[in-house]
A and B are shown apart, each in its own frame.
Chain A
Amino acid sequence: MKVRIIAKLDVKPPFVVKPVHFEGLRKVGIPTELAKKYYKQGADELLYIDIVASLYRREILFDEIEVTANELFIPFTVGGGVKTIDDFSKLFHCGADKVVINTFAVQEDPDIINRAAEIFGNQAVVVNIEAKKWDDHWECYTDCGRIQSGKNVLEWVEEVESRGAGEIVLQSVDTDGRQRGFDVTLAKKVVDAVNIPVIIASGAGSLEDIKTLIQEAKPSGVAIAGLLHYNKITIADIKKYLTEHGIEVSQ
């Protein structure tokens, strides 16, 4: 299977921001412009997360999402602050192909995964996980790595799969924004624990980091943010490099 190279936009409307270690935000652009740019570079998918909707307990800003979707002819996955079936529905109508849920499912009502999967199909329900490493396990966090949930990541991923999630986006609170490589150990454990696709985010600092992650953990996709935002490399560079190293990507 071709590994998906996904551009990730962490959005604090009206800006795309670059969280460093889930704290401290730098503005790096406007969602519509970056979406268009990464689409043209050959991104296989765009992941848009309103990273403050949940934290501020405010409504999702649907207009922002609809405008961003307008520029794309690739899949568009959207999340941040999703709490109800109505939120899912509205996001699909704004142009989302898949909807990401995290905080509400892990902190309040995991059953929303089952309900959403039955209505929208498994493939459209994506669970985002913010993992933080402790001595002997990883714990799920929410709200940009601020709030603990008490849930063990490796148990939670099996639970969300059995509840009907179609995909997992795995972020690491420890490696996010540092551009020093992924938590490959965790990535491998999660990929091996479930039968649904797993997208790994948090930590890409070089082309080699991406290659190592794919070779060792075999994820279905890799989500890249900072490396792209700071124009260090393009999606085309990543695909060229991976192809040269024998890793299959879409062209």
Chain B
Amino acid sequence: MSDVIGIVNYGITGNIHSIKKAIIKAGGDVLIIDEPSNFDNVDKIVLPGVGSFKNAMKELKSDGFIEKLENFNKPILGICLGMQILSRIGFEYGENKGINLINAEVKPVLCNGKVPHVGFNSIKVTADNKLLFGLDNKEFYFMHSYEVINYTNIISLTEYSGHKFVSAINKNNIYGVQFHPEKSREAGISLFKNFIEL
């Protein structure tokens, strides 16, 4: 019996549909987490993110998911905004506290290129890591206006318009990717396979 991957379903903003089918394609079993008690029935968590930092935190709070995420000691994978809200603080639509599992701040992408940074871009793996095993220099789909700013726990960097930013993080059981593996063709499916096998 393979691990059950829980996808946190919160608010009116989530696109969990595409993450679910990517995990299934990668060979995982999926349970959609609609209420706090569902956390007890899964082996790993994917925290998606479409929406703004402020709104996502509001929705997670009102659904009673924050405490469950704080205390979940098995692997968690935050995707895009789902990675950003693992940080201590975010500055999208005002200053908002994050879940604070990673000591990082979330700030606007500042560079000469167009923002949001949208499209396929490659990642440079900077630290040996099971999640990104075999994925150095692969292309993933990015779609974001904000970036995670931290100096530790970095596992990959990506360059956009001469600006290097953090594209993946890992600290203990916590993982985060700024890109969308569910939208990144075969490379994304490989990442989910790695996550399933953690």
Interface residues of A (CB under 8 A from B): 1-4, 44, 66, 69-70, 72-76, 85, 89, 92-98, 117-124, 166-167, 194-198, 220-221, 250-251
Contact = CB atoms under 8 A, between A and B. Distances in A.
B139 interface: yes
B74 interface: no
A75 B17 contact: no
B129 interface: no
8 contacts: A2-B120, A73-B18, A89-B12, A117-B52, A118-B93, A120-B51, A120-B55, A121-B145
Chain B interface helix/strand/loop/mixed: mixed
A79 to B, nearest CB: 15
A89 B13 contact: yes
Contacts of B92: 121
Given A69-B18, A75-B141, A97-B183, A118 B52 contact: yes
- Among B113, B116, B145, which residue has the most Cβ atoms of chain A within 10 A? B116
- Among B12, B21, B119, B182, which residue has the most Cβ atoms of chain A within 10 A? B119
Nearest to B81: A121
B114 interface: yes
Interface of B: 12-15, 17-18, 21-22, 25, 50-52, 54-55, 81, 92-93, 113-116, 118-121, 139, 141, 143-145, 160-161, 180, 182-186, 188-189
A121 B79 CA distance: 14
A165 B22 CA distance: 28
A74 B115 CA distance: 20
Given A93-B14, A97-B15, A98-B143, A167 B52 contact: no
A27 to B, nearest CB: 27
B113 A1 contact: yes
Top 9 nearest A-B pairs by Cβ distance?
Answer: A250-B120, A123-B116, A89-B12, A95-B17, A92-B15, A123-B143, A197-B114, A121-B52, A75-B183
A43 to B, nearest CB: 10
Contacts of B182: 73
Contacts of A119: 12-13, 51-52, 55
A212 to B, nearest CB: 20
B52 A197 contact: no
A122 B12 CA distance: 15
Given A92-B14, A119-B55, A196 B183 contact: no
A196 B176 CA distance: 25
Contacts of A196: 114-116
B96 to A, nearest CB: 12
Nearest to B182: A73
A250 B119 contact: yes
A121 B92 CA distance: 9
Contacts of A197: 114, 116, 118-119
Contacts of B161: 1
Given A2-B120, A92-B15, A119-B52, A195 B115 contact: yes
A117 B13 CA distance: 11
Contacts of A74: 141, 183-185
A1 B37 CA distance: 44
A120 B51 CA distance: 3
Nearest to A218: B114
